[in-house]
A and B are shown apart, each in its own frame.
Chain A
Amino acid sequence: MSKLIKGKTGEWEVVIGVETHAQVSSVSKLFSGSPTAFGAAPNSQVSLVDAAMPGMLPVVNGEAVRQAVRTGLALNAEINKHSVFARKNYFYPDLPQGYQISQYEEPIVGEGEIEVELEDGSTRTIGIERLHMEQDAGKSVHDRHPGKSYIDLNRAGVPLMEIVSKPDMRSAEEASAYVGKIRSILRAIGSCDGNMQEGSMRADINISVRKPGEELGIRAEVKNVNSLRFIRQAVEVEAKRQIRLLESGGTMVQETRLFDPDKGETRSMRSKEDAHDYRYFPDPDLLPVVFDDAFVAECKASLPELPDTRKARYVEAGVSADNATFIAGEQDHIHFFETLLAAGIDAKQAADFYTSEFLGRLNKADISIADAKVNAEALAGLLALVKDNTISGKIAKDVLDDMLESGEPAKAIVEAKGLVQITDSSAIEALVDQVIADNPNQVESYKANPKAIGWFVGQVMKASQGKANPGQVNQLLKQKLDG
């Protein structure tokens, strides 16, 4: 499959690298003891350290170090047992120190790689350049006063991990699949909640285009893209813009751009005059971050099953590769699926029913998993009834509709509505005899074409209001019609 984009002057290749900013799941900040919870009153989660009052000294949060190391291990990356915090100097009202404490020459995590699944079923290996710890900045609010911007420092000092990829991606799909994979890994190990709406995870995307085989082109950085769908759109839109620009004789400038999903365009954020020179230097307020092999081993031992291993286990159990990738990539799905497995439901049946029937209905009704009236245990209860032949698979779908509507357990609905499957063969036999007796013409056509048995099955099921066991119906019909 060609990923090249056709322009007027021939084909172009897109080259993409991604910087993912992930908020560490911690209750307190990277260098102070103030809280990190989302949505608090402005400046209520700010200590004198976060506000950069004179004389305040930062002390590193050990949990942030631990989560950075765990994440590095999950990204198959090199762990640096000695790393250094550096100051990245720039002025902005929501950055009270006048510099961001980050890591530069000596990050805590070095090179690694992850496997990314694409829609056509193929996989790509994407290189990780580094992961470093840094503090987030505050938030500027522009719409509460005509002449002023308001500053809320609640986010200032929140611990982030910046994960930098190598420029290994070649299409919008790969870029979004990469960020999706990073997200599922972070969520699986619990180092970040991966909530892109609340800003706990966001991506800066570096995009350039070139004619195949040529040197890398000049890149533009599209900042703060906060959904997988927008990542895709942003890459597509920005690549086309660059190709149009270059083909009409223009030259690229290295710059930061903003993606506007409403207008479907990217636009320049900072003029060239303001091009940043961060003048990094080691932060004299902080000692190097140093730990030993035992600490790394401890971090490693604390890692749960990673998405790739989990996926392989599901495929082994009979789940389709697509469903396995899908379920293993998301903690909510894993919870449901594991609950079904624990209830003894067949893996393939559980995966199929969960993805197409359960999630299918939620998607259609636009209900989130958290808001659904059916939880994992309730769904397991429903499928257990199919498993022990109390109801047919077909009835299960109707019962699911009822459950999602009323929140009642499957068993109560089945009993109240008298949906228990008819497995009594004499009862089924009576229905079969009746249908055969009523339809002599169809019996004739069956003799000419045995495939017509499907019509009979349908009639019997209808007569039983869907409650007859389809296997038994089939068997009895064959006996009677062939006999």
Chain B
Amino acid sequence: MALDEGTVARVAHLARIRVKDERLKPLAGELDTIVNWVEQLGEVDTNNVAPMTSVVEMQAHWRQDAVSDGGYSDRVTGNAPDGVADPEGAFYGVPKVVE
């Protein structure tokens, strides 16, 4: 698999990571190496092996539908860099986003 600079730029944009233009080419090379290394897994014959969905052989635990949490808006917004105490209550504040 060969990653081109355009793909790297696109993936970086989707992940909201700023990458300078001159870094695109070397990054493409590095990522290509990683992806190719992982692709070695393709050499193993898995025709008769069921897909593995988890490394632990256990069933998911289901929670009871009961209220056992919440009620601490001060705590959840406490670390917010731009938390606001509005008359209505505690909000997170972010740069204005209007669609």
Contacts and interface: CB of A to CB of B under 8 A. Distances in A.
Contacts of B70: 32-35, 44-47, 50
A390 interface: no
Contact of B62 (A33, A60, A270): A60
Interface size, A (range): 35 or more
Contacts of A43: 73, 76-77, 89-92
Interface string B55-99: 010111111111111111101110000101010111111111111
Interface string A12-54: 0000000000000011100011110000011111111111010
B40 interface: no
Contact of A145 (B90, B93, B98): B93
A28 B67 CA distance: 5
Contact of A287 (B58, B75, B76, B99): B58
Interface stretch (A136-144, A232-240, A413-421): A136-144
A63 B61 CA distance: 12
B68 A150 contact: no
Contacts of A225: none
Q: B63, B88, B89: which has the most chain A beta carbons within 10 Å?
A: B63
B98 A142 contact: yes
- The secondary-structure label for the interface of chain A is loop
A40 to B, nearest CB: 9
B76 A153 contact: yes
Contacts, number: 144
B89 A65 contact: no
B92 to A, nearest CB: 4
A289 interface: yes
A116 B26 CA distance: 58
A34 B67 contact: yes
Contacts of A148: 82, 84, 93-96
Please classify the interface of chain B as helix (H, G, I), strand (E, B), loop, or mixed, using the class held by over half of its residues.
loop
A42 B86 contact: yes
Contacts of B94: 93, 140, 148-151
B66 A65 contact: no
Given A287-B58, A287-B60, A42 B89 contact: yes
A59 B60 CA distance: 8
Interface in B1-17: 10, 14, 16
Nearest to A24: B65
Contacts of B77: 43
B53 interface: yes
A290 B84 contact: no
Contacts of B92: 43, 93, 150-151, 153
Given A61-B63, A65-B62, A145 B84 contact: yes
Contacts of A63: 64-65
Contacts of B97: 92-93, 140, 142, 149
Given A147-B96, A288-B60, 8 more contacts: A35-B67, A44-B72, A46-B73, A61-B63, A61-B65, A144-B91, A151-B94, A287-B60
